[in-house]
Chain A
Amino acid sequence: MLLIHCPYCGARAQDEFHYRGDANVERPAPHAGQKAFYDFVYARDNPRGWHVEWWHHYAGCRRWVKIERNTVTHEIRTVKGPTQDTR
C-alpha cells in the first residue's frame, strides 16, 4: 500500500486514490490532427524510473494530483495539484 501525501488532505493510503497514467502527455489543440491525438491517447514513454502520473483522490478531496513516482522502487518524490508544475 503506497502512502500518498495529498497536497490538500495529507498522508493518505493508496486505496483512496484511482490511477490514470502518464501526466506528461497533454491534450493537443482541437485541430492538431490525428497524429497529435494518437500521441496523446496512445504513445507512452513508459519510463523505467521516475514517472509523472495522475492519481485521483476520489475518496478524499476529489482532486487530480500529479505524482512523481519511481516505477522501479515505488518511491514518491513529489505530489502536486492539478495545475502545479511538478519540478
Chain B
Amino acid sequence: MSTITADTPGTATVTRVERREPAPIPFTRLLSVELRKSFDTRAGFWLMASIGIASLLATGAVLLWAPDSELTYSTFATAIGFPMAIILPMVAVLSVTSEWSQRSGLTSFTLVPNRSKVIAAKAGVTVGISVVSMLLAMAIGVVGTLVGSAILGISPVWDAGFVDLANIVLAQVLGMLVGFMLGVVIRSSSAAIVAYFVYSFALTAITEVLAATQDWFANLQPWVDFNYAQGALFNGSLNGEQWANLAVTGVVWLVAPLTFGLWSLMRSEVK
C-alpha cells in the first residue's frame, strides 16, 4: 500500500523570467514549410519525381511512335501535358487532405491557429509547383523537338508560340486548383482523388454525350461546362467570348465551391 506524500507546495513561489512576446510567424516561412511538406514523405517525393519521369516518358514515346510529320514542338507539349493533368492535381489534393487523413493537422493547426494562413501557403505552393513543373515540361519538350529533328535531319518545327504555352500553363494551374478545391471541400485523400476523376473525366464524358444528342445543351455548354471552357486553352488563343465562358464556368465550378470549402474548413473541428 503506497501512501501519498504530497509535497504541498502552497502557492507557486517560483516565477519565470518575464518573456518577450514572440514575433508573429512570417508568411514566407509557412510557404517554405509547406513546400518541404510536399517532398518529405516517400509518397510526396515520388509524386514530385513522377512529374519529371512522366515528362521524359511522354517525350520518348513521341520520339518512338509519332509519325515523322508530327515531330513538332506542339506534339511534344501536348503529350507531356496529359500525365501532368493527372499528377499535378493529385499533388494539390494531397497537400490539403493529408492534414486530415494523416491527422497531422492537429499539429499544423496548433502551431498556426490561423488556418487560412496555412491553406493560403498550401495554395501558393500548389500554384508554384504547377508553374515550375510546366516550365520543366516545356524545356523537356524543347529537347525532344531538337532530338527528333536531329534524328530526321530536318530543322526543328516550333509551332507553339508564347500565347499557346501560357494558355497551357493556365490550364494546368486551373486543373491543379480544381484538385485543391476538392481537397478543401472533401478533406479526405481517397474521396477527393475519386472526386477529381469524376469531376474531370466522368463528367466530361457525360457532357460530351449530352451535347452530341441534345441541341439545347450543345448551345448552352460553353457557359455551363468548366471542362469544355478549359478545352479552348489547348487550342491556341481565346476570343473574348471564350474568356467569358472560362470566367463564368470558373466562378461556378471552382470559386464558389472553394469559397464554401474554406468557410466550412475554418469552422470545422480538427480531430
Q: Tell whether A and B belong to one assembly.
A: no
What residues make up the interface of B, taking CB atoms closer than 8 Å to A? none
